[in-house]
Structures are given as structure tokens and as C-alpha cells.
Amino acid sequence: AQKVTQAQTEISVVEKEDVTLDCVYETRDTTYYLFWYKQPPSGELVFLIRRNSFDEQNEISGRYSWNFQKSTSSFNFTITASQVVDSAVYFCALTRGGGGNKLTFGTGTQLKVEL
Amino acid sequence: DVKVTQSSRYLVKRTGEKVFLECVQDMDHENMFWYRQDPGLGLRLIYFSYDVKMKEKGDIPEGYSVSREKKERFSLILESASTNQTSMYLCASSLGTLHQPQHFGDGTRLSIL
């Protein structure tokens, strides 16, 4: 069965610090996709990135970067020069087998960025 | 732009009531989902629908049912609400093509008294 572990329940940083959110997954599928979502205080989950299991290239989008390492089953998310607007709950998710785009979510990491 | 709309942001109901949570998407998506979100547990899938009138149980379907009579609308029904169903409920939709991201509504915070 799939499992996604986000061991960091809550992280607090000061603005402009870099922060890394960890995501470790378990799956027996050979083809799978990993996702990151952001949930600001307003409540709506916002899709950030999707990565497939055959593409281990790191991805950078502005201040956000993602490091996918199949060898350690990890898909970590780094925010560079954090800002107060980055304060949110971040979820990592993994596709399940059986089609339908169902996901298994981690328990989320609450990020607080303070001035 | 993608839009998933949930009918209520906050809802208070009484134990034993039949409760309807409505979700509408405007993107012609095939798949629709209902989750509940509880502290420390993340998002758990209640039900999933991959087409009109088609549904599939998720991880925690007990005490819930769903209805999808039209492609754009997916309703979650609490047959007889109980206090342990107090939670945040999130609706999502996605294209039917494999591995497409899900798009979420703002959520409904439901309190059962």
C-alpha cells in the first residue's frame, strides 16, 4: 500500500531564511507521480508541482525548488528566502494504482514564516 | 481558470440530521473527489466519482454517500450526522487523463452538535 510521510509537523522560520520540507514515500508501483500542494489559511489547496517517477531532475520555479531522489524515496521541497506569504500547510501526495487520479496524501507540514 | 465551488464555507447541523454538501466544478472534469481533513491525519478520501452516476468508495466511506447526477456536480450526503463527522470537507476535481492534478474548492467546515 502507498504511504506518504511528512515527519515535520510544524516549522517556524524567520523571513528570508531558507526552509526545506521533507517528504518520504512508499510504493510498489514502478510508475507513479508525486505532487506538492499548498494550503493557505483561506483553506483551498493549491497545486504546486507534479513529478513523475522517471524524471529525477530537480525543478526550480522562482524561490521554490524540488529535489526528487528515487534512491531514498524522497521528494523534498525547498523555499529560498522565505516570505510571510509562504505561511501555509504544505502537503505531499502520491498517485495510487487503479486509475482515477486518486492520491495518497501526507499529513502535512505547517510552515510559519515570521518577520 | 479552474474553479471548484463548495456551497457553504461553514455549516452547523445537529446529530441525526441528514446533511448535504454540494460541489460544482466548471472545468468539464471527469473525476470528482470528496475528502475530509482532520488535524494530524491529513486528507482522507471519502468517495470518488469518475463519471456521471459512477462512484467508488474511498478510504473512509462509512456514514457517507454521494450523488453525481450531472458531470459538474458532486454531492456528499451524511445520512445521519454524528459528532465524529465534525470536520473540514474538501471537494476536488481532475481531468480523466491519468496523473492529472486535482483542483480543490475552499472547503466546508462542518460542525455537528
Residue A85 phi, psi dihedral angles, 5° rounding: -70, -10
Q: How confident is the model at residue A99 (pLDDT cuts 50, 70, 90)?
A: low
The mean pLDDT of chain A is 92
- Region of A62 please: left (phi>0), alpha (psi -120 to 50) or beta: left
Q: Is the pLDDT of residue A1 over 90?
A: no
A38 touches chain B (CB under 8 A): no
pLDDT at A57: 81
pLDDT at B94: 92
Chain A CB contacts of B107 under 8 Å are: 43-44
Option in B41, B102, B106 nearest A42 (CB): B106
pLDDT at A100: 65
pLDDT at A111: 98
Q: Is the pLDDT of residue A37 over 80?
A: yes
Name the residue of chain B whose CA is nearest to A41's CA: B106
Buried b (16+ CB within 10 A) or exposed e, B43-77: bbbbbbbbeeeebbebeebeebebbbeeebbbbbe
Query: From first to last of its 113 residues, what are the pLDDT tens digits of chain B?
Result: 669 999 999 999 999 999 999 999 999 999 999 999 998 899 999 999 999 989 999 999 999 999 999 999 999 999 999 999 999 999 999 988 778 899 999 999 999 99
Size of interface A-B (CB pairs under 8 A): 56
Option in B42, B95, B107 nearest A44 (CB): B107
- The residues of B whose Cβ lies within 8 A of any Cβ of A are 9, 31, 33, 40-45, 48, 50, 56, 58, 88, 90, 92, 94-96, 98-107
A91 touches chain B (CB under 8 A): yes
Task: Test A102 with B100 for CB contact under 8 angstroms.
Answer: no
Taking the C-alpha atoms of residue B112 and residue B3, their distance in angstroms, rounded to an integer, is 28
pLDDT at B34: 97
More confident residue, B22 or A99: B22
Chain A CB contacts of B92 under 8 Å are: 45
Model confidence pLDDT, tens digit, residues A10-22: 999 999 999 999 9
Model confidence pLDDT, tens digit, residues A39-88: 999 889 999 999 988 888 888 889 999 999 999 999 999 999 999 999 99
Measure B35 CA to nearest chain A CA, in Å. Answer: 11
Taking the C-alpha atoms of residue A111 and residue A36, their distance in angstroms, rounded to an integer, is 14
Containing H/E element for A30?
Answer: none
